[in-house]
Amino acid sequence: MANSDIEIEYKDRDFCKEIFPLLEENDTKRIDFILDWTWVLYPKANEYLRELERAYRQKKSIRMRGALLIGPPAIGKTSLIQEFIDQNIDLTDKTKRWDFLYVEAPEKPSIKALYLEILSRCNINAIWGTAEQLKQRVIRSLGDLDVKMLFIDEIHNLLTAQSERVLTQCRNALKGLSNRLQIPIILIGTELAKEVIEGDPQVRNRYPIFELTPWENDEDFESLLYTLESRLPLRKASNIFVTPIREKIHEISYGILGNVAIIVKESAIEAIETGKEKITLGIIEKLRKLGLFQF
């Protein structure tokens, strides 16, 4: 396709700067690009990123302010955290390697298992010790590595323990780590964690809750789809942000960002492979019938 043709086709459209060179690439390279991108910045995400930045920049104290980021699965919580880390980490400075430590809470609600997971992420093999001994080793290790911010994903695994004793241990562990390390701790999980955090005033004060909710089919959702289309190296305009395609994507995805991304990416790949070069209702319905959008 000649450059002049591209200009005519896209003269009234906005694209990310890296898209135009891709329009003349072969199908494989364009599909690889679609498969690779995992993050799209949208207005609400900027608000959450600013809150994380405030937590990161605060001065050290024994009552560090963290955050609890909650929402249903696939809503974009983990992607948001990864974007924040990517924006702030300095990969050229090896001494900054451990500035941000990301761990997943173990499926079994056990404080020892949490400590072991943290140590494992620090490349420390530890299988022994009481909970207190492991706690001290975690504090020492994170201090030695000069960790600046700790992220604990899937925190609902710990905070929804049936045993009140285990739940108390988990709450105390969070407070203890924050006090001793004097770093912000960011908790990420589903809505199951919200009630537990709100039920303990001391914990609640340290972890203001930020909730990611499903998208309504409104102007914000239209803007999101417009942004997504601007990152697609398709040679024809899909206009997925316009009714009725927008309504269909919202219906199938339930307004869940991760589901939206899957629908758009898979449909865009199908558009390239079939030579249609744009996402259509027919493509979306075809892939839905094939079972690709079983959310």
Amino acid at 198: E
For 51-81, give the DSSP string. Answer: HHHHHHHSPP-SS---EEEE-STTSSHHHHH
Taking Cα atoms as reference points, which of 142, 72, 160 lies closest to residue 101? 142
Q: 10 Å Cβ neighbour count for 43?
A: 10
Predicted pLDDT of residue 14: 66
Predicted pLDDT of residue 96: 76
Torsion sign over Cα 215, 42, 51, 118: positive
Q: Which fold has domain 43-211?
A: Rossmann fold (3.40.50)
Give dist(CA 214, CA 256) in Å, integer. Answer: 5
In tens, the pLDDT along 143-180 reads: 999 999 999 999 988 877 667 777 788 888 888 898 89
| Sheet containing 100-104, strands listed edge to edge, beginning at the edge strand earlier in sequence | 100-104, 149-153, 185-189, 67-70, 209-211
In tens, the pLDDT along 239-281 reads: 999 999 999 999 999 999 999 999 999 999 999 999 999 999 9
pLDDT at 110 over 80: yes
Boundaries of every domain in the chain: 3-36+215-289, 43-211
* Burial (0-12, 13-18, 19+ Cβ within 10 Å), 139: middle
Structure tokens at 213: 């909710």
| Strand, helix or coil for residue 274 | coil
pLDDT band at 107 (very low <50, low <70, confident <90, very high): confident
pTM: predicted TM-score of the whole model, two decimal places = 0.85
